[in-house]
Amino acid sequence: MHRSFLATRVPFLSAMRRQHQLWMQGTLGLFMFAAPGFAGERIGASTERVAAEVAPKVVQILTQSVKVAGAGDEQPNGVLISERGRGSGFFVSADGYVLTNAHVVANATHIRVNTQGGTEYTATLAGVDVDNDLALLKTEARDVAYFDLTLDAAPRQGQLVLAYGSPMGLAQSASLGLISALDRQLSPDDPRAYLQTDASMNPGNSGGPLVDLDGRLLGVNTMILSQSGGSEGLGFAIPLLVARRSFAALRVHGSASRAQLGLQPRSLTPELIAGLELKVRKGVLVEDVDPNGPASAAGVRPGDVIVGLGEATIRTLRDLYTAEYEMPTGTSDLAVMRGADMRFLRITPLFTGKPQPGMAAGVNEKENLVFGLGVYATTLTEALAAKIGGTRIGPGVLVLALTGMSAGAEPGDVIHAVNHTAVDSVEALRDALDSVAAGAPLVLQIERAGVLSYVTPGTLPAAAQLKRTSSTVKNGNVSLRF
């Protein structure tokens, strides 16, 4: 009886399955037909909601700055020029801290921050992380909406994102795109990795946030790859993890201290592995060792391959870079391959923060102009000497920039003496020059890149030959950083 019941039910069940499959196909077809409009409405609703949530956290940054002219500038190399710039940033605390790119505020003498509501604040530079191109500003804003950097967000390839900023000075602009790639390195020897996106970015977007459709921060917009100078769908953002670590250091210390090992690393390539007959295929090659640095004291030699540092396995230059940031104070283990032998060394790194960019930012004629030489200079203090790597023979005067008619000196030179007179301050340099009779020989003892030399520029330039600082206006760089 039971078997007879099953026999009669099987054809009925099969027919029902066929009808169900046909119904599902038809329903799926209708859904797919309607999906584009439905998906568009959902995306539109999401982006509108995110815009309302994110916009109060985003700011436009306006700067006035001075810098030493270089390649691509209208003035001769080394001349001090002024410029205006625009960029973006965003609040990272309720008490008015703003995160942006270091290059947005490089050399800035005045920084203004404009919010969505039109409120303008004067900002001060709280700290700079040169390696990661990040800067922290402090404003008097209170109880503002901000991005909480402690909240995690995991970007995914293909994920929809919004890039915020002030492209071409157009504040509070947003553009929609995808995460094109994760952990994108621009070159094998660049230890930094970025989020790549095709969301439109242009000059002025620098320092703005890259967010997902839930309004969570993913990264800091920082550069584009472009042949035209405009957006070509290749934008890059500093990941949240890097921004979080940098903010914590900048808020407390004003700089991002990093362990200095005293060696020159290089990524391994098939050519290096084959040509040097290396026994490992992963690791970081040591090209050079500072004879007075921690690596030398630990016994590291050029040609060694670093395969471990502390608890970290070192496979790439990025691994080494990350491990250096996470190194504790004190002595750590360093594993290297030397030929076919693995050696375990002990290294005690130095912890230093790189000097903030733009020593010329605070230059003014009263304090820094050395009229007789046509240069802007500053007294070389112990702290400043440490930032430039020290000097050979002690005190002196550091040349910051030129006025356009320099008597043989270049930015970065340290002037130690005028004729036989040693100088240890800007005032001493001015007095020594004043004591040189008109038309009398002039000899400067300078230090350039650690090499001492005598410069004989001849007679001092006449006052009429000295040029004032020129003024240029720029809205941002249009190569890699913007």
CA 14 to chain centre: 65
Residue 340 maps to a domain: yes
327 and 297, same structural domain? yes
pLDDT-based confidence at residue 471 (cuts at 50, 70, 90): very low
Pick the closest to residue 117 from 206, 55, 51, 48 (CA basis).
55
CA 33 to chain centre: 46
Neighbouring C-beta atoms of residue 110, cutoff 10 Å = 11
Residue 390 maps to a domain: yes
Alpha carbons 222 and 481: distance in angstroms, whole number? 6
pLDDT-based confidence at residue 152 (cuts at 50, 70, 90): confident
For residue 294, give the CATH number of its domain: 2.30.42.10
Kindly report the backbone phi and psi dihedral angles of residue 47, in degrees, each rounded to the nearest multiple of 5, phi listed first. Answer: -65, -35
Kindly report the backbone phi and psi dihedral angles of residue 270, in degrees, each rounded to the nearest multiple of 5, phi listed first. Answer: -55, -35
Residue 174 maps to a domain: no
Residue 290 maps to a domain: yes
pLDDT-based confidence at residue 462 (cuts at 50, 70, 90): very low
pLDDT-based confidence at residue 357 (cuts at 50, 70, 90): very low
Encode pLDDT of 248-271 as tens digits.
888 887 777 777 888 889 889 899
pLDDT-based confidence at residue 366 (cuts at 50, 70, 90): confident
Check whether 26 has a pLDDT greater than 90.
Answer: no
**Bridge partners for 110 per DSSP:** 64
Alpha carbons 300 and 460: distance in angstroms, whole number? 50
421 and 393, same structural domain? yes
403 and 346, same structural domain? no
Q: How many CA atoms lie within 13 A of 274 on its CB side?
A: 3
pLDDT-based confidence at residue 423 (cuts at 50, 70, 90): very high
Alpha carbons 401 and 76: distance in angstroms, whole number? 11
Say what the pTM is.
Answer: 0.64
Q: Do residues 482 and 95 touch, judged by C-beta distance below 8 A? A: no
**Amino acid at the residue 195:** L
Residue 236 maps to a domain: no
Alpha carbons 218 and 208: distance in angstroms, whole number? 11
377 and 345, same structural domain? no
Residue 412 maps to a domain: yes
**Given this model, what pLDDT does residue 98 score?**
96
Check whether 403 has a pLDDT greater than 70.
Answer: no
411 and 325, same structural domain? no
Structure tokens at 480: 């890699």
Q: Do residues 409 and 444 touch, judged by C-beta distance below 8 A? A: yes
Percent of the chain surpassing pLDDT 70: 77
Check whether 185 has a pLDDT greater than 80.
Answer: no
Q: What is the mean pLDDT of residues 315-343?
A: 88
Residue 264 maps to a domain: yes
pLDDT-based confidence at residue 360 (cuts at 50, 70, 90): low
Check whether 354 has a pLDDT greater than 70.
Answer: no
402 and 322, same structural domain? no
Residue 73 maps to a domain: no
452 and 397, same structural domain? yes
CA 267 to chain centre: 21
pLDDT-based confidence at residue 317 (cuts at 50, 70, 90): confident
385 and 328, same structural domain? no
**Given this model, what pLDDT does residue 72 score?**
62
Check whether 301 has a pLDDT greater than 90.
Answer: yes
381 and 454, same structural domain? yes
386 and 340, same structural domain? no
Give Cα separations from 323 to 9, 251, 316 (angstroms). 68, 22, 11
Active site residues: 103, 133, 206
| Residue bearing tokens 């903010």 | 247
420 and 452, same structural domain? yes
Q: Do residues 237 and 194 touch, judged by C-beta distance below 8 A? A: yes
Owning domain of residue 459? 372-465
Check whether 88 has a pLDDT greater than 50.
Answer: yes
Neighbouring C-beta atoms of residue 303, cutoff 10 Å = 15
How many structural domains compose the chain?
A: 2
Encode pLDDT of 102-132 as tens digits.
888 877 878 999 998 889 999 998 888 878 8
332 and 376, same structural domain? no
